[in-house]
């Protein structure tokens, strides 16, 4: 037993220094030198002002903006200090009620649109911070956004077209639209008139 | 759609095998002390550690000494982690000012990280200081993984060596696993992840101004978004490579700062299975018959692929309850469709189901989607993979030593059929080996089923369920399956931070880890003492498709007989009720 204690203590201490201090400090130093913007959270700036992170979604429920995935974080949606999913099971009545309420809100904001609603627009994301929606979910909202802003629908559609990101390396992941980026571009479009 | 889904699975498996083959033979050289180039670079650090620790690298340990070293080292690590959590409020590097962690959560977490489970009864960004994450959690991520690898290497030596007591030296195997394998791979993976957007900073938060202010549930106006950040990439790299799975943030790899895009997702999924897959080839190299390693790898793959298909198909079908509400769940070129509750848009259903299968095949337990919201059959797959004992690739080291226990049982069954003394790799399998192998398989299974049964009858077990009905039972069954098999993923709706679950799952994790390690090392000691029996006409060859089929059959039979009654009460009932209407 005693012959085991010294190696156990010394090796644990050595690995604590090596993997608990040297390793993260080394990775931080190299990462911040090589990828400074990424390491700090891929922040999006408007001049000096931080308007968000490219990777973290923001809450939108105004008809003038594209809406993102529903979010289950508390006490407000897209709380990036406490990520959380809904963890509702597929047969839970609470899931059906929540989805029904979201459908009602989408229909109320866009009464003329009778199309089936893309599933990602009425289901919460895993993180509660999902920055993306599917292209289908973005196109679903084009008419509403254009009407609320009295913009030409074709221009808004073209804006969505230019924000659709393809699969990475051609095979990985899904096609998607970054909602914050799209809404920032929309604001830009509206600010420049026309 | 089908082609692109298929392509993704095939690309993943091809890249995995392409990387596992060279890594496997490199690791064999490392454990045999023959890694020349790496030895020149890292040898000085290795020797410094031995000098400081008073370790003589060529000193052999018997199986009892080896097991003693494992237990002492792990106990010490758990103690340090417990103390760190209890005292974090008065220690430095706590920029968010978190208080001390409660005793039951500290016990649960210390056990969890020392046993390579990484079950998290807490939310990362709201509980643990940077110091606790670095000095406690990250360190255990490395050394608990290295412990599993060391135990495996000792078992393999038991097969490879003849008439000796010595199984190698735990301190040396531990040090080499960390220094030569885990650390270099982690540095590379961490930097790749940062290049894709995973955060790595010592700050605690960034602040952004919301484009449109929102309202909190208490009516307060919210104009700013606080973005929790931290040294995440360094922890995520080892959490995946070491099949640990404990996330930096509450939602683990569903969080965009842990897993920002499909490339990061691919790299993280590769990292999960890389070392467990490579160790199959290390095993082949160390017993000097590469076909043996390939056969075990093939058996793992033969269980993995069909279960992956089941999970993907179930998730892609979506939730029939939502179709009736006017929701479009059909995949098209504009959306992935399927059951998207609890999933991220950038991953869709395919990458989420693939991850769920990978993370529970390995004893990793990190998630990129909420398993609790999977369809019943999509959730059954990860649950059953854990219940099989985490042997389909499994945890680093622990997966393969678990699978080798099944191989022992498979040759025993074959021996019974033809009436001969069974042999595996030239070693006679006798009653002692069979008793120990049975313990390895029965104890975790008993912990799962007895734990679930107790939780179902005590008020504290059912008070904190997140979902009603059969799904609530699934949450309990999943929790104990995950704990006793050292996975760490969860059906997250259940609240497990209370005293009952923190303690019960903590005990299950201890049983699932050490009541497996000790019998495995006992088998290693017994095998090493035996003579080599040259193969004869009556020997069952263990590198053929026939043996692979026998091994797969044994695993599935034991797994099915043990768990189908329990699964019938959870996911199966739920599946039927969901589709009955």
What ipTM did this prediction achieve? 0.96
Q: What is the pLDDT of residue A193?
A: 65
What distance in Å separates residue A44's CA from the closest CA in chain B?
9
> Cβ A40–B376 below 8 Å, yes or no?
no
A14-32 exposure pattern, b = at least 16 Cβ within 10 A, e = fewer: bbbebbbeebbeebbebbb
Pick from B38-47, B322-331, B415-424, B451-460: least confident: B415-424
Structure tokens at B62: 């018997």
Q: Alpha-carbon Rg of chain B, whole angstroms?
A: 23
In the predicted structure, residue B165 carries a pLDDT above the cut 90: yes
Mutate which: A89, A136, A185, vs B, most B CBs within 10 A: A89
Q: Average pLDDT, whole number, for chain B?
A: 95
Whose CA is closest to B172, among B68, B76, B59, B42? B59
Secondary structure (3-state) at B502: helix
The mean pLDDT of B249-266, rounded to a whole number, is 96
CA distance B284 to A127: 41
Q: What are the pLDDT digits (tens) for B8-40?
A: 899 999 999 999 999 999 999 999 999 989 999
Phi, psi dihedral angles at B264 (to 5 degrees): -60, -40
The mean pLDDT of A114-133, rounded to a whole number, is 97
> Cβ B319–A90 below 8 Å, yes or no?
yes
Tokens 């913007």 belong to A37
Mutate which: A145, A167, A168, A173, vs B, most B CBs within 10 A: A173
Whose CA is closest to B520, among B160, B145, B159? B159
CA distance B490 to B510: 18
In the predicted structure, residue A194 carries a pLDDT above the cut 70: no
B312 and B350 Cβ atoms separated by less than 8 Å: yes
Structure tokens at A11: 């090796």
Phi, psi dihedral angles at A91 (to 5 degrees): -105, 5
Asked if B417 reaches chain A (Cβ–Cβ under 8 Å), the answer is no
Structure tokens at B193: 């992840």
Facing residue for B335 by CB, picked from A26, A137, A167: A137
Q: What is the pLDDT of residue B581?
A: 64
Asked if A122 reaches chain B (Cβ–Cβ under 8 Å), the answer is yes
The mean pLDDT of B69-94, rounded to a whole number, is 95
B426 and B163 Cβ atoms separated by less than 8 Å: no
> Cβ B171–A60 below 8 Å, yes or no?
no
Q: In angstroms, what CA-CA distances link B1 with A181, B36, B75? A: 27, 47, 50
Q: What is the pLDDT of residue A1?
A: 64
Asked if B62 reaches chain A (Cβ–Cβ under 8 Å), the answer is no
A39 and B197 Cβ atoms separated by less than 8 Å: no
Q: What is the pLDDT of residue A40?
A: 96
Identify the band that residue B1 occupies on the pLDDT scale cut at 50, 70 and 90: low
The mean pLDDT of A45-53, rounded to a whole number, is 93
Domain ranges of chain B: 2-580
Q: Average pLDDT, whole number, for chain A?
A: 95
**Which regions of B133-183 does DSSP assign to beta strands (E)?**
none
Identify the band that residue A192 occupies on the pLDDT scale cut at 50, 70 and 90: confident
Which phi-psi region, left, alpha or beta, contains residue B166 (left: φ > 0; alpha: ψ -120 to 50)?
Answer: beta
Phi, psi dihedral angles at A192 (to 5 degrees): -80, 10
- Beta bridge pairs of residue B228: B205
> Cβ A56–B345 below 8 Å, yes or no?
no
The mean pLDDT of B283-290, rounded to a whole number, is 97
B367 and B359 Cβ atoms separated by less than 8 Å: yes
The mean pLDDT of B78-98, rounded to a whole number, is 93
**Residue of higher predicted confidence among B538 and B114:** B114
């Amino acid at each position: 037993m005693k012959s085991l204690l010294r190696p156990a203590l010394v090796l644990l201490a050595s690995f604590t220094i090596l993997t608990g201090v040297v390793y993260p400090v080394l990775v931080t130093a190299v990462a911040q030198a090589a990828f400074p913007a990424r390491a700090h959270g891929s922040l999006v700036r408007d001049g000096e002002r931080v308007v968000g992170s490219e990777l973290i979604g923001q809450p939108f429920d105004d008809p003038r903006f594209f809406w993102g995935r529903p979010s289950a974080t508390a006490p407000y949606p897209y709380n990036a200090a406490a990520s959380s999913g809904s963890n509702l099971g597929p047969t839970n009545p609470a899931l059906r009620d929540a989805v029904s309420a979201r459908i009602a809100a989408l229909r109320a904001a866009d009464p003329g649109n009778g199309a089936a609603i893309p599933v990602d627009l009425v289901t919460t994301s895993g993180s509660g911070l999902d920055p993306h929606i599917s292209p289908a979910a973005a196109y679903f909202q084009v008419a509403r956004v254009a009407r609320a802003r009295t913009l030409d629908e074709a221009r808004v559609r073209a804006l969505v077209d230019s924000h659709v990101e393809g699969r990475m390396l051609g095979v990985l992941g899904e096609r998607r639209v970054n909602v914050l980026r799209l809404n920032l571009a929309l604001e830009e479009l509206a600010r420049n008139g026309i | 759609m089908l082609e692109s889904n298929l392509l993704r699975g095939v690309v993943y498996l091809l890249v995995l095998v392409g990387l596992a083959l060279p890594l496997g033979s490199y690791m064999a050289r490392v454990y045999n002390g023959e890694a020349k180039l790496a030895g020149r670079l890292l040898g000085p650090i290795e020797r410094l550690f031995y000098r400081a620790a008073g370790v003589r690298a060529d000193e052999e340990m018997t199986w009892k000494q080896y097991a003693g070293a494992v237990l002492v080292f792990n106990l010490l690590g758990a103690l340090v982690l417990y103390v760190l959590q209890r005292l974090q409020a008065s220690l430095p590097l706590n920029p968010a000012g978190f208080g001390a962690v409660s005793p039951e959560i500290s016990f649960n977490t210390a056990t969890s990280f020392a046993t390579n489970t990484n079950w998290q009864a807490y939310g990362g960004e709201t509980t643990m200081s940077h110091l606790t994450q670095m000095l406690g959690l990250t360190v255990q991520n490395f050394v608990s993984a290295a412990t599993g690898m060391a135990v495996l290497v000792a078992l393999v030596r038991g097969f490879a060596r003849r008439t000796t007591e010595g199984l190698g030296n735990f301190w040396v195997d531990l040090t080499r696993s960390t220094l030569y394998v885990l650390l270099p791979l982690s540095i590379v993976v961490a930097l790749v992840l940062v290049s894709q957007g995973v955060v790595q900073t010592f700050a605690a938060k960034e602040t952004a101004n919301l484009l449109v202010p929102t309202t909190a549930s208490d009516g307060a106006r919210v104009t700013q978004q606080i973005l929790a950040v931290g040294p995440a990439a360094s922890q995520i790299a080892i959490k995946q490579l070491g099949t640990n799975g404990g996330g930096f943030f509450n939602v683990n790899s569903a969080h965009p700062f842990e897993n920002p895009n499909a490339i990061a997702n691919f790299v993280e999924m590769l990292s999960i299975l890389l070392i467990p897959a490579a160790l199959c080839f290390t095993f082949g190299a160390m017993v000097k018959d590469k076909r043996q390693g390939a056969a075990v790898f093939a058996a793992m793959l033969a269980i993995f692929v069909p279960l992956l298909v089941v999970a993907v198909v179930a998730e892609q079908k979506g939730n029939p309850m939502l179709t009736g509400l006017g929701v479009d769940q059909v995949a098209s070129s504009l959306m992935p469709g399927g059951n998207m509750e609890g999933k991220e848009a950038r991953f869709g259903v395919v990458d989420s189901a693939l991850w769920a299968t990978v993370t529970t095949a390995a004893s990793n337990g990190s998630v990129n989607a909420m398993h609790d919201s999977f369809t019943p059959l999509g959730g059954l797959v990860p649950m059953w993979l854990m219940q099989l004992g985490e042997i389909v690739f499994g945890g680093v080291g622990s997966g393969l030593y678990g699978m080798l226990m099944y191989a022992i049982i498979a040759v025993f069954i074959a021996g019974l059929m033809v009436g001969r003394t069974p042999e595996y790799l030239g070693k006679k399998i006798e009653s002692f080996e069979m008793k120990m192998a049975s313990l390895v398989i029965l104890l975790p299974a008993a912990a799962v089923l007895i734990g679930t049964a107790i939780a179902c009858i005590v008020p504290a077990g059912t008070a904190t369920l997140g979902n009603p009905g059969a799904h609530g039972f699934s949450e309990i069954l999943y929790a104990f399956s995950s704990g006793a098999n050292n996975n760490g993923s969860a059906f997250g709706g259940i609240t497990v931070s209370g005293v009952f679950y923190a303690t019960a799952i903590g005990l299950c994790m201890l049983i699932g880890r050490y009541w497996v390690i000790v019998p495995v090392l006992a088998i290693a000691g017994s095998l090493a003492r035996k003579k080599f029996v040259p193969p004869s006409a009556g020997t069952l060859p263990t590198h053929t498709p026939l043996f692979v089929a026998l091994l797969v059959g044994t695993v599935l039979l034991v797994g099915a007989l043990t768990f189908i009654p329990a699964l019938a009460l959870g996911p199966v009932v739920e599946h039927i009720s969901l589709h009955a209407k």
